[in-house]
């Protein structure tokens, strides 16, 4: 991958000299014939350093191997994890880094052994593109907890592909092993469905694990990308939902999303009034914060799932708050591939999608700043068709 130029149109022609195999018309050919075409260049946006912001980049995508699916990306959600990663807030990031793991697009080429996807089919890719496939977690369909070799969609070493560093979905195409590709229901709006690939599954999985059902009370802390999906999915599961927010101006919007109750988490009296009223809390806050006030809102045998991964350490948890009500304090990481498909199908059945603000490539940096400031309802989604033009201007 190289910063800057050249940025070809979506699914550019195969690179010369990189593959001696004959080129094939990708738009019409499937199976073994398509496999003979070479790597392609994709237009992309990413960071070249923690303080670079997002700039135009070009990424080479491998030619589909036997089990690969090449996807012409239409939309990619902007997750707060993308901000943490591109700005180096978690440390250990490698640059250039093309973020994006809420990917929706259409199949454009297929490897020779892929017979269960078709060219043109709408598909998605979430937060992982491979795992070891043989550890207990992988064999249990919990690939996200792979004990040996989880390969994230960006910034990860891809052992099965020469150790290349993966690059994400702020790009016009991606090539992914079919085992990590999801089917996206055609009935759902493609821009609004993109955030389900991370925000949706990350909140669905703990709710599913806790076996939330009709009549349960679910607390959602933080009304951002993950939080608003937690509200919608918990409501679709039949739960009552209480939203905890630091933003007084989100009260009406929270109710519009379906919240039965909204609590200003900075108001001690309001927090006290919620004492012992909740079965399970989904905490999605992207910054360090004190969890102890939330434990007091849980009932006996309640659970708090922490999903946010803040840059700074969290204040200590008071063991007494857990012990006195047999409360479980847990974490949860996205969801497995089968569970992600289950979530997409659940959302199609219940008409659940994300509330999105679609942005062009030249708005990405502003969108990141607005996300950090909490100024988005509730997920920015990149319209990938805009990727080529800013770079062309920059090159002029
Ligand atoms: P987001 O859209 O920015 O939402 C985060 C929300 O946290 C904000 O809308 C805000 O809600 C609340 N918040 C309260 N105080 C805050 C502060 N000081 N700074 C920032 N936010 C504050 O983020 P997201 O995309 O939903 O992601 C949330 C977190 O989950 C991130 O840390 C992300 O990396 C992590 N994540 C984890 C997983 C996983 O698998 N566990 C997957 C994806 C993302 P109010 O205004 O309502 O208070
Ligand atoms: Zn994410
Ligand atoms: Zn594994």
Regarding the beta carbon of 79 and ligand 1, being less than 6 Å apart is answered yes
Position in ligand 1 atom list of the atom nearest CA 227: 26
Distances (CA, A) of 349 to 108, 121, 187, 345: 27, 19, 10, 6
Token output for 335 = 């969801």
Question: How many helices and strands in the chain, by DSSP H and E?
Answer: 13, 20
CA 74, 356, 185 angle in degrees (round to 5)? 55
pLDDT tens figures, 299-345: 999 999 999 988 899 999 999 999 999 999 999 999 999 999 999 99
Sort 14 into a burial class: Cβ within 10 Å, 0-12 / 13-18 / 19+. Answer: buried
Regarding the beta carbon of 285 and ligand 1, being less than 6 Å apart is answered yes
pLDDT over 60 at 358, yes or no? yes
End-to-end alpha-carbon separation of the chain, Å?
21
At 290 the pLDDT is: 97
**Which residue's CA lies nearest to atom 16 of ligand 1?**
287
Regarding the beta carbon of 247 and ligand 1, being less than 6 Å apart is answered yes
Q: Which ligand is nearest to the CA of 201?
A: 1
For residue 237, give the DSSP letter.
T
At 168 the pLDDT is: 98
Token output for 220 = 């959602």
Q: Which ligand is nearest to the CA of 150?
A: 3
Sort 74 into a burial class: Cβ within 10 Å, 0-12 / 13-18 / 19+. Answer: buried
HSE (CB half, 13 Å, CA atoms) of 303? Answer: 16
Regarding the beta carbon of 293 and ligand 1, being less than 6 Å apart is answered no
pLDDT over 90 at 293, yes or no? yes
**Which residue's CA lies nearest to atom 7 of ligand 1?**
285
| DSSP string for 245-299 | ES-GGGHHHHHHHT-SEEEETT-HHHHHHTTT-EEEEEE--SS----HHHHTTEE
**Which residue's CA lies nearest to atom 27 of ligand 1?**
80
Q: With b meaning 16 or more CB within 10 Å and e meaning fewer, what string describes 271-284?
A: beebeebbbbbbbb
Question: By percentage, how much of the chain surpasses pLDDT 90?
Answer: 85
The residue whose two tokens read 């349960």 is: 216
Regarding the beta carbon of 230 and ligand 1, being less than 6 Å apart is answered no
Contact 337, 345 (CB under 8 A): no
Distances (CA, A) of 176 to 1, 46, 111, 292, 384: 17, 19, 10, 42, 18
User: Which runs of consecutive H residues, i.e. helices, occur in the chain?
Assistant: 31-35, 80-86, 136-139, 190-193, 199-209, 225-236, 251-257, 268-273, 292-295, 319-323, 337-350, 364-372, 388-395
At 93 the pLDDT is: 78
pLDDT tens figures, 150-177: 999 999 999 999 999 999 999 999 999 9
pLDDT over 60 at 188, yes or no? yes
Strand partners, 280: 218, 303
Query: How far is residue 287's CA from residue 268's CA, in Å, rounded to a whole number?
Result: 19
Count of residues in the chain = 396
Regarding the beta carbon of 262 and ligand 1, being less than 6 Å apart is answered no
Regarding the beta carbon of 123 and ligand 1, being less than 6 Å apart is answered no
Regarding the beta carbon of 309 and ligand 1, being less than 6 Å apart is answered yes
CA 94, 164, 82 angle in degrees (round to 5)? 40
**Which residue's CA lies nearest to atom 34 of ligand 1?**
81
**Strands 128-130 and 217-221: what pairing?**
unpaired
pLDDT over 80 at 22, yes or no? no
Q: Which ligand is nearest to the CA of 367?
A: 1
Regarding the beta carbon of 246 and ligand 1, being less than 6 Å apart is answered yes
Instruction: Give, as residue ranges, everything with CB less than 5 Å from ion ligand 3.
Output: 131-132, 135, 138, 146, 148
Ligand 3 mean position to 131 CA, how many Å? 5
Contacting residues for 339 by C-beta, under 8 A, at least 6 apart: 141, 201, 204, 205, 208
Query: How far is residue 235's CA from residue 253's CA, in Å, rounded to a whole number?
Result: 15
Ligand 2 mean position to 141 CA, how many Å? 19
Asked if residue 169 has a cis previous peptide bond (ω within 30° of 0), the answer is: no
Q: Name all domains of the chain by residue range, CATH numbers in brackets.
A: 2-197+336-395 (3.90.180.10), 200-331 (3.40.50.720)
Considering the chain, what is the average pLDDT of its residues?
89
Q: Which ligand is nearest to the CA of 143?
A: 3
Over range 214-239, report the average pLDDT.
97
Regarding the beta carbon of 286 and ligand 1, being less than 6 Å apart is answered yes
Ligand 2 mean position to 80 CA, how many Å? 6
Q: Please, what is the angle between helix 225-236 and helix 199-209, to 10°?
A: 50
Ligand 2 mean position to 3 CA, how many Å? 24
Regarding the beta carbon of 198 and ligand 1, being less than 6 Å apart is answered yes
Query: How far is residue 133's CA from residue 393's CA, in Å, rounded to a whole number?
Result: 44
At 239 the pLDDT is: 98
User: pLDDT confidence of 388, banded at 50, 70, 90?
Assistant: confident
Widest distance between CA atoms in the chain: 70
């Amino acid at each position: 991958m190289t910063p800057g130029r050249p940025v070809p149109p979506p699914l550019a022609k195969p690179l010369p000299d990189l593959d001696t195999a004959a080129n094939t018309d990708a738009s019409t050919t499937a199976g073994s014939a398509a496999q003979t075409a070479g790597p392609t260049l994709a237009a992309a946006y990413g960071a070249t350093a923690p303080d670079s912001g997002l700039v135009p980049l070009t990424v080479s995508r491998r030619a589909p191997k036997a089990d690969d699916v090449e996807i012409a990306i239409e939309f990619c959600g902007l997750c707060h994890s993308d901000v943490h990663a591109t700005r180096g807030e978690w440390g250990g990031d490698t640059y250039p880094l093309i973020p994006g793991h809420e990917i929706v697009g259409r199949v454009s080429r297929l490897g020779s052994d892929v017979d269960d996807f078709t060219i043109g089919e709408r598909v998605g890719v979430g937060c992982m593109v491979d795992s070891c496939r043989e550890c207990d977690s992988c064999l249990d369909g919990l690939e996200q907890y792979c004990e040996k070799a989880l390969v994230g969609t960006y910034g990860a070493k891809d052992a099965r592909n020469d150790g290349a560093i993966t690059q994400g979905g702020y790009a016009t195409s991606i090539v992914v092993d079919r085992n990590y590709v999801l089917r996206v229901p055609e009935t759902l709006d493609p821009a609004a469905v993109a955030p389900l690939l991370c925000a949706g599954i990350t909140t669905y999985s703990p709710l599913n694990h806790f076996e939330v059902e009709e009549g349960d009370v679910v607390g959602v802390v933080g009304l951002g990308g993950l939080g608003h999906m937690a509200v919608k999915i918990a409501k679709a599961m039949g739960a009552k939902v209480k939203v905890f927010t630091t933003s007084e101006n989100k009260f009406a919007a929270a109710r519009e999303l379906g919240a039965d109750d909204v609590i200003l988490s900075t108001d001690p009296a309001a927090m006290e009034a919620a004492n012992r009223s909740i079965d399970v809390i989904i905490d999605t806050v992207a910054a360090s914060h004190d969890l102890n006030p939330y434990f007091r809102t849980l009932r006996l045998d309640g659970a708090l799932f922490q999903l946010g991964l803040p840059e700074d350490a969290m204040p200590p948890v008071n063991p007494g708050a857990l012990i006195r009500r047999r409360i479980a304090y847990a974490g949860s990481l996205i969801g497995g591939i089968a569970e992600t498909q289950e979530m997409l199908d659940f959302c199609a059945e219940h008409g659940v999608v994300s509330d999105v603000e679609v942005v062009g490539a030249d708005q990405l940096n502003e969108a990141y700043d607005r996300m950090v400031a909490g100024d988005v309802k509730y997920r920015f989604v990149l319209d990938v068709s805009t990727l080529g033009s800013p770079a062309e201007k920059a090159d002029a």
